[in-house]
Amino acid sequence: MYSADWCGDCRRSKRLLDELNVTYTVIDIEADQSASDKVIEINGGMRSIPVIIFADGTHMTEPSDIDLKAKLTSLGII
């Protein structure tokens, strides 16, 4: 998950993942310029976060809890 401490949507997604016992890695876009650049690349020029990358190569940007849970279910993670 590309994230930043100041991001409310990031905190919400982390909270959901924690509640669902889903393991994830946080990449801080404030501490890593290449991570920030990757987010901008993924989002077509926007620095929107969180960006959550899944093992199947897909990603979601700023997902709602409902959409994130549906994605995790479709991948068999939960």
pLDDT digits (tens, 9 = 90+) for 31-60: 999 999 999 999 999 999 999 999 999 999
High-pLDDT (> 90) share of the chain, %: 100
**How many domains is the chain built from?**
1
Give mean pLDDT, residues 63-69.
98
Adjacency order of strands within the sheet including 59-61:
27-28, 2-3, 51-53, 59-61
Question: Alpha carbon 35 to chain centroid distance?
Answer: 12
- Domain hosting 38: range is 2-74
CATH number for the domain spanning 66: value is: 3.40.30.10
**What are the Cα distances from residue 27, in Å, to 17, 51, 70, 78?**
15, 10, 23, 22
Residue 6: count of CB within 10 angstroms of its CB: 9
Specify the pTM: 0.94
Mean pLDDT in the chain?
97
- 25 three-state secondary structure: coil
